[in-house]
Amino acid sequence: MVIILVTVTISSGKNDGIPANAATPSNLITLRPDGSVVMAQRGVNSPVLEVYEDYQCPYCQEFEQTNGETIKQWATQGMIKVIYYPMTIFQKEKWPVTHDNSHRALKASLCVTDPRKWLAYHDELYDHQPEETAEGGFALKDLVTYAKKVGIDEADFATCLNSRESSDRADAVSALARTRGVEGTPTVRLNGEDIDWSTPWAGAQQRI
């Protein structure tokens, strides 16, 4: 896999006339049938930033802490279209405990059916990420607690979380990501090309 080292910046000139407070990130969310999540102002189709992430992956948490708020700002200002691809990167055969933790978190993310609540829940998962090898990390009761905290109906959420359907769907979205050449998380792509995610993007000066 080739990683392109870039400084990610958006040209402000192409977005003149869009006020910074035109929307909030949560109001820009669209949940798609394949498990991916779009965050973008209406009519913004490029540039496209794809984020393949695993809620149990410490590097994904690092990326979120480093650049998550910057990405939200860009989307809110109509500067970029973001597509999140939550997945489980850990193979059950090699990392059974870590896989199970990741799988539970992914199921929980997929059980959020209100687009306006998805981003808040996404952030809760990273805020409460357990150690990779912690037995029982992302416990079901904790995942339900996080849902309640962001205003999601507990009963419906718990039913979804405990369903076989949600487990199968989590497996399917992870398998789909792997067909796209994702071998590790986070994988971050700008207009289809892998880019360096590890450096802070806020305040960068080079155009995309």
Asked if the structure places residue 71 within a domain, the reply is yes
Asked if the structure places residue 166 within a domain, the reply is yes
| Paired tokens of 168 | 């199968």
Q: For the domain that residue 184 is a member of, what is the CATH number?
A: 3.40.30.10
Q: Which residues contact 197 (CB under 8 A, 6 or more apart)?
A: 63, 66, 67, 186, 188
User: 81 - beta bridge partners?
Assistant: 48
Kindly tell me if the per-residue pLDDT of 166 is higher than 50.
yes
Kindly tell me if the per-residue pLDDT of 139 is higher than 50.
yes
**What's 195's DSSP letter?**
B
Asked if the structure places residue 205 within a domain, the reply is no
Confidence of residue 172 (pLDDT cuts 50, 70, 90): very high
| Paired tokens of 152 | 């999601």
As a whole-number percent, the residues of the chain with pLDDT over 90 amount to 86
Kindly tell me if the per-residue pLDDT of 185 is higher than 90.
yes
Is pTM, for the whole model, over 0.85?
yes
Terminal alpha carbon distance of the chain:
21
Kindly tell me if the per-residue pLDDT of 4 is higher than 90.
no
Asked if the structure places residue 207 within a domain, the reply is no
Asked if the structure places residue 8 within a domain, the reply is no
The pLDDT value recorded for residue 135 is 96
**Are residues 54 and 89 in contact, defined by beta-carbon separation less than 8 angstroms?**
yes
Give me the numbers of helices (H) and strands (E) for the chain, helices first please.
6, 6
Asked if the structure places residue 4 within a domain, the reply is no
Question: Which has the higher per-residue pLDDT, 40 or 204?
Answer: 40
Tell me how many degrees the CA angle 130-132-137 measures, rounded to the nearest 5.
45
Confidence of residue 14 (pLDDT cuts 50, 70, 90): very low
Kindly tell me if the per-residue pLDDT of 52 is higher than 80.
yes
Kindly tell me if the per-residue pLDDT of 21 is higher than 50.
no
CA 121 to chain centre: 10
The pLDDT mean for the chain works out to: 90
Instruction: Give the domain extent around 82.
Output: 21-194
**Are residues 70 and 35 in contact, defined by beta-carbon separation less than 8 angstroms?**
no
Of the candidate ranges 105-109, 173-177, 183-187, 204-208, the one whose mean pLDDT is the lowest = 204-208
Q: Report how far residue 105's alpha carbon sits from residue 137's, in angstroms, rounded to the nearest whole number.
A: 9
Of the candidate ranges 18-22, 30-34, 188-192, the one whose mean pLDDT is the lowest = 18-22
Confidence of residue 12 (pLDDT cuts 50, 70, 90): very low
Question: Which has the higher per-residue pLDDT, 11 or 104?
Answer: 104
Asked if the structure places residue 176 within a domain, the reply is yes
Domain count, the chain: 1
Asked if the structure places residue 84 within a domain, the reply is yes
